[in-house]
Structure formats: structure tokens, C-alpha cells
Amino acid sequence: MLNITKRFPGIVANDNITLQLKRGEIHALLGENGAGKSTLMSVLFGLYQPEEGVIKKDGQVVQIKDPNDANALGIGMVHQHFKLVECFSILDNIILGVEPCKNGFLQKQEAREKVLALSEKYGLQVDPDALVEDV
């Protein structure tokens, strides 16, 4: 992220911010409430568009118009506040926006199997059919 500036009416949330990361690094952004940390990450994830600056991946300028573009580039985001649909199942929340389809039909069983496989691989106990409001 090079020279990123993001403004909202009456406030400059990010003013000429540069953040450079290398593969395999782990970083933490620290700062007071209102410092612009979440805004900067929302720009990287495509939730906001910067007024100035560019984002590069592997040295190439990329356009991240929305979270799907970010995901396609291998960029994910764990939100500070949960953004789940309470009345949906865990599985439906996981696939929301990236529903696996084949010939126009939702492949929910395929998605369920992937969730269960990841759950087992990482030692999680996830019931993909449980409602979020009940968990």
C-alpha cells in the first residue's frame, strides 16, 4: 500500500499511508480509536476505495474494487466486529458471496464437505448446519 489517502466528509481517515509487507510476515497495527487502522485495512480488502495511492502485489499495481477482488489476490480480512447473518447457518455464512454453483445450481453439499474437512484439519469443532444465533 503506497501513499494511501482515504477521506470521509469532514475527516481524513488515512493521510499518505505506506504499508509494505513481505510474504510470511505477520504484522499488527496499533493505535488509538479513530487512528484509521480499520479504514486502512478496509481499503486493502476492497470495502473502501482510496482517494489517492496505489496497492501493489508482487510489484504489480492491482485494482481491488471489492472483497471478491481481494480474495482472488489471496487477501483476507478478519473483521473487528463480526459480520454474520444471525438467522443463517454457519455454512451459509461461510459461503455467502462465493456460493459454489455448477450449471446454475448451488453445490451446498460440496461446500459442507470442504468446511468439515477444514474443521478436521485444524482441529475445530464446527457444525456447518448450526444456526449462528444458536452458537
The vertex-47 CA angle with 39 and 94, nearest 5°, equals 115
Prediction pTM value: 0.67
Question: What per-residue confidence (pLDDT) applies to 39?
Answer: 95
- State the average pLDDT over residues 27-51: 93
Percent of the chain with pLDDT over 70: 99
Domain boundaries, the chain: 2-72, 90-134
Question: What per-residue confidence (pLDDT) applies to 99?
Answer: 83
- Kindly indicate the confidence band of residue 98, based on its pLDDT and cuts at 50, 70 and 90: confident
CA distance 54 to 46: 12
CA distance 93 to 95: 6
CATH topology of domain 2-72: Rossmann fold (3.40.50)
